[in-house]
Amino acid sequence: MYELKELEALSNEINLSNLYEIAKISAQIGNEILKINYNKIQKISSKGRKGDLVTNVDLEVEKKIKEYLLKETPNISINAEESGKLYKSSNLTWCIDPLDGTTNYSHGYPFFGTSIGLVYKNKPIIGAISVPYLNELYSACIGLGSFCNDNVLKVSSPRNLSKSLLVTGFSYDRFETEDNNYAEFCYLTHKTRGVRRGGAAAVDLAFVAAGKVDGYWERGLEIWDLAAGAIIVKEAGGIISDYPSGEFNLSSGRILACSPCLENELKNELAKVSPLKKHLYT
C-alpha cells in the first residue's frame, strides 16, 4: 500500500502513535453507546433506499465521536456516514461509521460495530473497529501490525478454496442493478465450505484479519465501510484488492480481502461468474 520511503516520510509528518490511540478511543466511545442502547432503540427511519436505515443510536454515536475527534485533532478532516464531510487543511481524513450493521442492530441481531479509519491521501493508515457483543477491539496502524484487544492478528492459511470459509454482503442498490454479487454468492457456496453474509462490512474485514473467515468480497461500499478494515487486514498479512482484479482503491466501493494463499484462486473463480438477470430475483 505504501513504499518504504513514503512510510518514512509519513512518520516524519504526523504522530502516528498518538493518532492510533485516538482512533482506538473513538471506537470505544461507540462501543459503550452501542452496548447501553442495545435493544433500546427509540427511533428508526429510512434514508430513502430500501433497507438503508438510521437510528437515534447511529446519530448519537457519530455526534460523540466527532466531538472527541474535533477536540483532539482539530486540523484533520472528517468523513462521517450520517453527517457527511467536514474539510480541514490536512491530507488526513477520519472516516467514521458509527454503527456498521444498523439493520442487524435494529433487530437485536448481535453482529455490528463502530468503525474508525484514518486515511492519508486516500490510503488507509490507521483503523479501529469495536465489536461490542464480543467485547473485541480490532485495530491496526501502518507498520505496527494488527491486534484484537492485546492479541496479534494473522490471517488464515487454508490450503485451497475448497477448504475455506468466506463472507460477503449485498449493497443497498442490489434491488435496482444487475451489478450485484448474488450469482457469486451462489457459485462460491458450492466451491467452499460455505459463504456467510454478516451484514456489517467492517466486522467482516476484522474477521478476515483474525482468521475467523478466510476471505471477503463485496461491492457498493462506502469509504467509511472500508477505511479501518482494509488496513487491519493488510497489517495482519492479508491481501486487499479490487475484485475480480486490480489494485485496491478506497473510492471504488469494491474490495477483495483474503489470505495470500487464496488470492489467485479466489480471483480466478470470481472472474468466471456472470451476474444473475434481474428478472430471476424480482
Q: Which residue has the cell 437485536?
A: 108
How far, in Å, are 27, 75, 112, 121, 152 from residue 100 at the CA level? Answer: 12, 26, 6, 24, 23
Domains in the chain (CATH in brackets) are 4-152 (3.30.540.10), 161-280 (3.40.190.80)
Please give the pLDDT value at position 3.
58
Please give the pLDDT value at position 181.
87
Alpha helix positions (H), the chain: 4-13, 16-37, 56-72, 102-106, 182-189, 201-210, 223-235, 263-271
Average pLDDT of adjacent 10-residue blocks, the chain of 282 residues: 62 86 98 96 76 86 98 96 89 96 95 97 96 98 95 96 96 66 93 96 98 96 97 98 88 95 95 75 58
Query: Which DSSP state fits 247?
Result: B
**Which of 222, 215, 229, 208 is closest to 114 using CA atoms?**
229
DSSP bridge pairs for 116: 96, 128
Please give the pLDDT value at position 46.
77
Please give the pLDDT value at position 7.
61
Please give the pLDDT value at position 275.
76
The full length of the chain comes to 282
Between strands 215-218 and 165-168, the pairing is parallel
